[in-house]
Structure 1
Amino acid sequence: MKAIATRQQTGAALLISIIMLLIITVLALSSMRGSILQEQMTANQYDYQLAFQAAEAALRRGEQLRRTNAGFVLLPIGPTPPIDNWRNLRANFITVTMPTGHGLAAQPQVLTEELDFDSSNNTSRIRVTAIGFGARAETQVVLQSIVAL
């Protein structure tokens, strides 16, 4: 009988397969993390767009109501108000009711301020400021326009 030569195995195949499995796991986790980040960015962009559209709708509604003098207490003329005067006047904002079903955290708000009055042609410049909210209350968009009436 012939003796069969046996070699002692070192387990290299097991070690290589464990390393490959570890690399694949790291790649999969990295890919999942990237997908979750993209999903969060998309949700934030959607929330911003909701807030922007609500602010724009409130701004247009505020301009329309100001043209008809309906429902506004116009702030008095003084020295030209600073561009961020609205921050100090939050109590003077009125809420603009939006149709339901938009998923907004709060209804948009609008404020009008008279900047100046030209008595020669009987026109006023009115600054309209609107704040829109997204699905989360911390998502806010502020828009302003100046209207000559």
Structure 2
Amino acid sequence: MQLAKFAYRPSLRMETGVSLPVVLMFLLVITILGTLGIRRATTGETLSRNQLDYEVARQAAEAALRDGERDLRIPSVLQTNALCARDTNRPLVVGAPHFDTNCPRGQCRFELTHYDTSNYMATPVVNPEPWWPTINDKQGRWDGDPAGAASPKPGDATGVNVNCNFDGSVPLGTFTGVARLAGVARQPEYLIEYLGRGDDQLMRITSRGFGADINTEVVMQTYYRPYK
């Protein structure tokens, strides 16, 4: 009696493992999640920085408003730490040459009818308000492009040109001696407009402040009646 002999032969079927595709898929998902996380963190940081810069500009504009009010109360003598002295328009003389349409040393006066038809959307601009910019044909009295060259005024970005006979806006502390601000791209400034009738010395003060970035700008206005 003979026993049957069986020979063992290994299977020729190829292995079809799934480990590599699964690992690659996990790596792709992790990479996408990591990228989204980085972008979200970067966006959050940018928003926080912009908000902080806005707050700096807002507080700078607020400081300029208060400085404009203080300016209306000072006498016509050089104040401590001030770069310039106010002329002899204290008590206030609200007519030319102290207050006129050229806004000498930050003091503007227009007829009230000027404001009634003011329109910056027209071409050319009709009766420009003094606190409009000078750029883009707006024909206002701000110092043009804030990112451009510093204006030749006291307290400008150069800090060396003390020109006390200027037209247009007043940099912070020019007449009052208030300390200049640190950490801003440009010192805040203000304009004073006389809007009164008769003995009513109603003033409108418009200010603008800048953040650490020159392109961050805040404009504020207030109405003020100086005491006589």
Q: TM-score, normalised by structure 1?
A: 0.84
Which residue among 194, 199, 206 is the counterpart of 1:129?
A: 206
Deviation at 1:116, TM superposition (A): 1.3
CA RMSD of aligned residues (A): 2.5
Q: Could you tell which deviates more after superposition, 88-97 or 23-32?
A: 88-97
Deviation at 1:64, TM superposition (A): 1.2
Which residue among 172, 178, 184 is the counterpart of 1:96?
A: 172
Q: 1:76 maps to what in 2?
A: 109
- Looking at structure 2, the residues matched to 95 and 52 of structure 1 have their Cα atoms a distance apart, in angstroms, of 15
Which residue among 30, 33, 55 is the counterpart of 2:39?
A: 33
**1:75-131 residue CA offsets vs partner (Å, 9 max, x unmatched):** 224125548531112251011147467310000011100011343xxx311000111
- Looking at structure 2, the residues matched to 89 and 66 of structure 1 have their Cα atoms a distance apart, in angstroms, of 19
- Which residue identity is paired with 1:17? V
8 Å CA contact 2:180–2:187 kept in 1: the answer is no
Which residue among 182, 193, 203 is the counterpart of 1:113?
A: 193
- Among the aligned pairs, what percent are the same residue? 32
Aligned-partner SS, 2:67: helix
Q: 1:46 maps to what in 2?
A: 52
8 Å CA contact 1:81–1:115 kept in 2: the answer is no
Matched, 1:138 2:215: yes
Structure 1 gaps of 5+ residues are none
- Looking at structure 2, the residues matched to 101 and 95 of structure 1 have their Cα atoms a distance apart, in angstroms, of 11
Q: 2:29 maps to what in 1?
A: 23
**1:8-28 residue CA offsets vs partner (Å, 9 max, x unmatched):** 321311111101110110011
- Looking at structure 2, the residues matched to 15 and 135 of structure 1 have their Cα atoms a distance apart, in angstroms, of 50
Q: How many residues align?
A: 146
Q: TM-score, normalised by structure 2?
A: 0.57
- Which residue identity is paired with 1:78? E
Higher Cα Rg: structure 1 or 2?
2
**1:41-81 residue CA offsets vs partner (Å, 9 max, x unmatched):** 01101111110010001110111111336635532241255
- Which residue identity is paired with 2:206? T
- Looking at structure 1, the residues matched to 59 and 189 of structure 2 have their Cα atoms a distance apart, in angstroms, of 12
- Looking at structure 2, the residues matched to 2 and 48 of structure 1 have their Cα atoms a distance apart, in angstroms, of 86
- Which residue identity is paired with 1:96? L
- Looking at structure 1, the residues matched to 19 and 195 of structure 2 have their Cα atoms a distance apart, in angstroms, of 80
Q: CA distance change for structure 1 residues 80 and 11 in 2, over 3 Å: closer, same or farther?
A: farther
